[in-house]
Amino acid sequence: MESLRNKPIGVFDSGVGGLTVVRAMMEILPSESFVYLGDTANLPYGEKSAEMVRQYAFHNARFLQEFDIKVMVVACNTASSVALSDLQQAFDFPVIGVIEPAAKEAVKVSPNHRIGVIGTKRTIRTQMYTHKIHEIEPTATVIGKACPLFVPLIEEGFLHHEATTLIAQEYLSPLRGKIDSLILGCTHYPLIRDTIQSVLPEVVLVDSAYSTARELRQLLLEKGWLSDALVPSRLFYATDITEHLNSLARMILPEVPSLVFEEVRLASTPVV
Ligand code: DGL
């Protein structure tokens, strides 16, 4: 499939947080071209109904489809929890989400199969991580915990702030002694990884962004679709260019100083 290998990978998220997945992809798959879409106009997905998130996911996917992508990555944990199988059925390119790769890795690194999952309210409510972990290891104990204040704190740039440490203690201390690994089931959480680890020092943290990038590499290898482009192209779109979008983006991807988002308005055709 020579013609496919240098086509871009489409990546979408509810906002800029999904750049943590792009960061992992750039490290693990440096020759790949991609088109990134952050649906900043509709952030946060984690507080929305499942149906609304599904609609947004389809609008994002249709936008990315226009770029003749070879694969689509749903970088958003919330959208992956709610809409992945519908997207996989609706499009003829492979669609991968962040849930299954992280679930697999958590089972692998968790000696006693006592796994914690943190994410948005919607992600935890769907129990998709729990289902995926149980498909792989039915005896695993899974404890889900919604951490809704993390996203606004991180969006505010409070990465090393005592408020974030306090909130992390409030959310995570009850998990002490109960889990041996913890899935960072939200695009934003890798940015406060150190704070999370300081509250749960004995626990192995699983970064869904890196698990997904490795799974994507495996898929591209199997299909013979690994890019050999010397200068891969990277395009960044957002549905609303807000004041702090560029600064948050630079915080996540400081190695791409030229990173500029272009604004795009998505058609709001109803999804059937
Ligand atoms: N991208 C979302 C996720 O990974 C977090 C932000 C939001 O709620 O939209 O679940």
Name the one residue in this structure whose structure tokens are 């997905």. 45
Please tell me the distance between residue 227's alpha carbon and the centre of ligand 1 in angstroms.
29
- The answer, yes or no, to whether any atom of ligand 1 lies below 6 A from the CB of 14, is yes
Q: Whose CA is nearest to atom 6 of ligand 1?
A: 44
- Give the nearest ligand 1 atom to 187 CA: 4
Say whether 174 sits in a helix, a strand or coil.
helix
CA of 46 to the centre of ligand 1 (A): 5
Element (H, E) at 23: helix 19-28
167 alpha carbon – ligand 1 mean position (Å)? 18
**CB of residue 212 inside a 6 A radius of ligand 1:** no
Task: Name the residue of 55, 77, 128, 207 to mutate for ligand 1: max ligand atoms within 8 A of Cβ.
Answer: 77
Q: Is the CB of 191 under 6 A from ligand 1?
A: no
* β-strand partners of 183: 117, 206
Domain parsing of the chain, residue ranges: 2-97+210-263, 99-208
Q: Looking up tokens 């129990």, which residue turns up?
A: 127
d(Cα 267, Cα 95) in Å, to the nearest integer? 21
- Per-residue model confidence as pLDDT tens for the chain (272 residues): 457 999 999 999 999 999 999 999 999 999 999 999 999 999 999 999 999 999 999 999 999 999 999 999 999 999 999 999 999 999 999 999 999 999 999 999 999 999 999 999 999 999 999 999 999 999 999 999 999 999 999 988 899 999 999 999 999 999 999 999 999 999 999 999 999 999 999 999 999 999 999 999 999 999 999 999 999 999 999 999 987 888 889 889 988 877 889 999 987 655 55
CA angle 159, 163, 166 (to 5 degrees): 110
CA distances from 156 to 71, 152, 243, 245 (A): 32, 6, 11, 10
pTM (two decimals): 0.95
Catalytic residues: 76, 186
Ligand 1 centroid distance, CA of 147 (Å): 11
Q: Measure the CA–CA gap between 118 and 166, rounded to whole angstroms.
A: 16
- Asked whether 77 lines ligand 1 (CB < 6 A), one says yes
Q: Which CATH class is domain 2-97+210-263?
A: alpha beta
Token pair, residue 268, equals 């709001």
CATH code of the region 99-208: 3.40.50.1860
Neighbours of 234 (CB within 10 A): 16
